[in-house]
Amino acid sequence: MLHNYSIPPKTYFEIASLGYLLVLYLISFNDSNRERIRAYKLFRSLETNMLLALVVSILTYIFSYPELGTPIFICTILRTMDSIMCVMASRIFIVYLLEYVDSEKKYQWIRIVGNVLFAIYLGLMILNLPLKFILWYMPDGTYMHGALFVPIVFTAPVYYLSSGIILLIIRMRTLDSREQLALSAASLITLFGTIIQAATDGALLLSLPFGAAGIFVLYFSLETTDYHELIKSNEMLRIAEQDAIKANRAKSDFLANMSHEIRTPMNAVLGMDELIINEIKQENKIDDSAVTRIREYADNIKDAGQILLSVINDILDLSKIESGKMEIKNAPYMLHTLTGEVDTMIRIKAEQKDLKYIQQIDHAIPDRLIGDELRIRQIMINLLNNAVKYTDKGEVKLEMSSQAVSEDTVNLCVKVKDTGIGIRSEDIPRLFGDYKRLNEEHNRGIEGTGLGLAIVKRMVDLMNGQIDVTSEYGKGSVFTVVIPQTVNRKVQDEAADGSSKEDEATAYKTPDCTFLIVDDNKVNLIIASRFLDDLAGRVETALSGPESLQKMREKKYDMIFMDHMMPGMDGVETYKKSKEDPDNLNLDTPMIMMTANALHGVREEYLEMGFADYISKPVDVKELKKVVKLHTPQEKIVR
Ligand code: ADP
């Protein structure tokens, strides 16, 4: 009879929840292609499973209506599937929950036990098909279930849900308040529905509708797109904040280290200077022993000054490299000159520490090469200095060889070996990072900025070379650098011995010349004056731009050295004013910029302004003499 076809009243809840779950499914499906976080995949499968479970459940109740005359085996299959889908949904729920509350994977046994229970349950359900001890249909279509129905069908879901809730309580503190509320509510709602269904022996079908309600709670509290995006951007902010803190700490460490590296030689300079002043102040005569002591103090000041300068040069080099302004300048050079200079510099240092220094240069390397000699020397000195610094006994060895790459190119291979403290293998990847000093406890007494290897690595990269290191902690290290260099086939006559050329460039006098030095710093004036005194000419000084302009009106000089940074009128302004001054007797006198502004490209800038040349401070006496020679007419030079 038709009226008996009405849907059994018990499934109204399920049909209603199917409706709202479908809406939810469509909403979440719509944004499913966005990038998601955490347990979203599991949430999707939970949602799908629940939807299918609802469909199967509703179909089961409709088809098992006796008036419909559905074959009994179809009804049994539907009932079995209905039960399996429900248990599966609760199983996915616990996996989903674990994703939130067990990020460290400490409670995975809950899942394993759950899987075992699920397997037993599945086995029993299959056995039930022929044996009919859990659920079955009578030949007249009446649905029956046995005493084992509730324990078998509900043990796994109740286990999943209750263990989930216990875990939630234990791990509550690891969740934020939104997660706490959403996960507890969803678990309790689902558990409540399941318990009611079990308690009423299946008379009230509330487990699926309540489970669907739980999913609703989860979606709108934890799994919406905007909430996921919020979490992701929070996470990104957290990472950015940590990076900023790390960078800031690295900067502070760097500054503290630099400050230490600058203060130490500074302390030597000031202390030694104080001793010299004392020696001279005590009215006793300056006898030979006092002279020896003063000489020693002066030597120490020189050493400390050189260390200071190398620290500053390192900082400048690194900033040049960082800003992409370091250029490789290729020019012809001779390898034996380079290795000779390196030998002189390193041998002394090695001998001071009682280390053996060995240079093994393969004679097959072409001597005339084209490349950036200065940078190659810097690389070699850096590696060798480190080798000496980090070796207490034994030897430091420089090995050089070459490999022909093409007609005009060789790969120059530089190996620096030491028998020093070595580097831990875990430290090697950090070796070439910026201002990284390794093994701080061990290195505390050894001076260093941690910039050296960072600079070496960048310079090698700029020259298209390669640097490698192998090291055995406690035994020693080997640094290997390979740099391609062009072979210089053109034989140059004038390329005689570099050092004799050098001597020639500085061994001369200019007794007839008069120089003017302009600088607001009296010490700088004294230094430059004494250096120029060596040339036997006359030296005059001016302490400001206006004073120098006045002097230029009164006298013709052979050369003028101008400082840049001066209070009031600076060096560049003074230069411009002097050129516009009709009373200036020095309109054609070469004016040399002598400044501490040693940044990249400034030389070119000064030359462009009209300065005849450029000398950087601290002034190198040889450099100064070369410049003077270059701008002095031949007839005034006496050898
Ligand atoms: P530093 O100014 O500290 O010497 P570097 O950049 O030259 O800076 O070297 C970085 C770190 O690498 C050093 O602090 C040291 O720990 C390690 N190191 C470099 N060369 C050697 C070496 N030959 N033997 C052992 N350790 C070395």
- State which ligand 1 atom lies nearest to the alpha carbon of 438: 16
Q: Which residues of the chain have pLDDT under 70?
A: 1-10, 31-38, 282-284, 434-448, 491-504, 599-600
Q: Are 607 and 614 in contact (CB under 8 A)?
A: yes
Q: In what order do the strands lie in the sheet with 514-518?
A: 538-542, 514-518, 559-562, 591-595, 613-616
Span from the CA of 437 to the centroid of ligand 1 (angstroms): 6
Q: Are 96 and 168 in contact (CB under 8 A)?
A: no
Q: pLDDT value at position 495?
A: 45
Q: pLDDT value at position 491?
A: 61
Decide whether any atom of ligand 1 lies within 6 Å of the 383 Cβ. no
Q: pLDDT value at position 143?
A: 82
Q: pLDDT value at position 593?
A: 94
Decide whether any atom of ligand 1 lies within 6 Å of the 114 Cβ. no
d(CA 577, CA 581): 6
Q: What is the pLDDT of residues 272-328, one digit of tens each?
A: 888 888 888 766 677 888 888 899 889 889 888 888 888 888 888 877 777 777 788
What six digits make up the tokens of 382?
């850096």
Residues 6+ apart with CB under 8 A from 213: 17, 189, 190, 193
DSSP for 410-442? EEEEEEEEE-SS---GGGGGGTTSTT---SHHH
Decide whether any atom of ligand 1 lies within 6 Å of the 385 Cβ. no
d(CA 134, CA 156): 15
- State which ligand 1 atom lies nearest to the alpha carbon of 416: 23
Strand 559-562 with 613-616, pairing: unpaired
Q: Are 574 and 547 in contact (CB under 8 A)?
A: no
Q: pLDDT value at position 397?
A: 95
d(CA 14, CA 52): 12
β partners of residue 542 = 518
Decide whether any atom of ligand 1 lies within 6 Å of the 597 Cβ. no
Helix (H) or strand (E) holding 404: strand 395-404
Q: pLDDT value at position 329?
A: 85
How is residue 638 annotated by DSSP?
B
Decide whether any atom of ligand 1 lies within 6 Å of the 537 Cβ. no
Q: pLDDT value at position 531?
A: 85
Closest CA to 342 of 378, 369, 302: 378
Amino acid identity at 253: D
Task: Report the residue count for the chain.
Answer: 639
Q: Is the pTM of this model over 0.85?
A: no
What six digits make up the tokens of 101?
């509350």
